[in-house]
Amino acid sequence: MTSPRLLFAGTPDFALASLAALIDGGIRPLAVLTQPDRPAGRGKRLTASPVKRRATDEGIPVLQPTTLREAGAVEDIRSFGADLLVVAAYGLLLPQAVLDVPARGCLNVHASLLPRWRGAAPIQAAILAGDAETGISLMAMTAGLDCGPVYGTRAIDIGDAETAGELHDRLAALGGEFLVEKLPAILAGDLPAVPQDEALATHAGKIRTADAELDWSRPAAELARQVRAYNPAPGAWFDWSGERVKCWKATAQADGASAPGAVTIDAGVPVVACGDGTLRLELLQRPGRRPVTGAEFARLDGVGGARLSLPAAS
């Protein structure tokens, strides 16, 4: 197959996996679009995205428009004469003027089994909901949010103790593999895109820090999924004497009949009563400090017998 004329749009590590798979598979993008450099780290130095760094290393031209709604940005994209624009976690909405530029349209690598979990945080949403599986969808992009027809999906099981970070890495690798596998058939017109069933659509909105607060009135099983879903970001948390303590690992238990928020010590580890069951806190981190085991945290004054507050009503 003649190497296709394509552009690639993406920004974080999830997108980097697809870009790397294309390059390693002998499919070199004409150019890459990625988000502008952002301040990062303690020094807040401007930092290039993972996609930009790989493209620069490969000598691939990089475009970093702040918006795609300006005529100049659209003309820059048009100037490459691409047949296809491959998009993976780019971070900017593509207006119709951009969607219309490539001769074969725009193809999105999405981290869910569409139409389930359209939107910004499908990996976290799948864990929060207790889904048994998730996967990758290759979607023909339209003006709506993740609602275009789908060329194909590839499913994987979600591990019982798997965090969002771990699942992200597996899905990123799968996305790159699936993209390279199916791209020739998509470009040849041999793989039709099937419309999504709107009746089955669910939405995964952007994550707010407030979403990660642990509400002890909820079932322990839900809170354990919350801990996994928000690891590594933003981190599930609870208030401890005015401090926002992050919880990085926890296990739900069926026992317990205390009031929600009541803390006991079991085998040296803090256990918090929930609306149904208890949550065993196994890895915790106070602000500005290193993560510690639950046993280390339990040695702080006042942990055993404490009563953790419930979130304020929003």
**Token pair listed for 201:** 């659509």
Residue at 104 is within a domain: yes
The CATH number that applies at residue 264 is: 3.10.25.10
Determine the 3-state secondary structure of 35 from DSSP: coil
pLDDT tens digits along 137-179: 999 999 889 999 999 999 999 999 999 999 999 999 999 999 9
Q: Are residues 238 and 154 in the same domain?
A: no
Residue of 29, 12, 2 lying closest to 179 (CA atoms): 29
Q: Which parts of the chain have pLDDT scores under 50?
A: none
Q: Residue 44: what pLDDT?
A: 83
Of 148, 175, 204, which closes a domain? 204
Residues 193, 291: one domain?
Answer: no
Looking at the fold, whether 80 and 150 belong to one and the same domain comes out as: yes
Closest Cα partner for 181 from 156, 147, 155, 152?
Answer: 152
Residue 272 neighbours by CB under 8 Å, 6+ apart: 216, 261, 262, 263, 278, 279, 281, 308
Give yes or no for a contact between 148 and 114, defined as CB atoms under 8 angstroms apart: no
Question: Could you tell me if 51 and 118 lie in one domain?
Answer: yes
Q: Is residue 139 a contact partner of residue 94, using CB atoms and an 8 Å limit? A: no
283 with 154, same domain? no
Q: What is the pLDDT of residues 194-219, one digit of tens each?
A: 999 999 999 999 999 999 999 999 99
Instruction: Please check whether residues 174 and 226 belong to one and the same domain.
Output: no
In our burial notation (b when 16+ CB lie closer than 10 A, e otherwise), range 50-71 reads bbbebbeeeebebbebeebeee
Residues 111 and 246 in one domain: no
Same domain, 53 and 183: yes
* Residues in contact with 119: Cβ distance below 8 Å, sequence separation at least 6, in sequence order: 125, 145, 146, 203, 204, 205, 206
Q: Do 11 and 127 share a domain, yes or no?
A: yes
Q: What is the CATH number of the domain that holds 121?
A: 3.40.50.170
Q: Write down the pLDDT at residue 40.
A: 83
Domain boundary among 204, 226, 250: 204
Together in a domain, 190 and 215: no
Check residue 147 and give its pLDDT: 96
Q: List the structure tokens of 2.
A: 């003649």
The total of structural domains in the chain comes to 2
- Domain match, 190 and 233 both: no
pLDDT at residue 201 in the model: 98
198 and 253 part of one domain: no
- What local confidence, expressed as pLDDT, does residue 250 receive? 98
Residue 55 lies in a domain: yes
Range of the domain at 137: 6-204
How far, in whole angstroms, is CA 151 from its chain's centroid?
21
Q: How much is the pLDDT for 141? A: 97
Output DSSP code: residue 262.
Answer: B
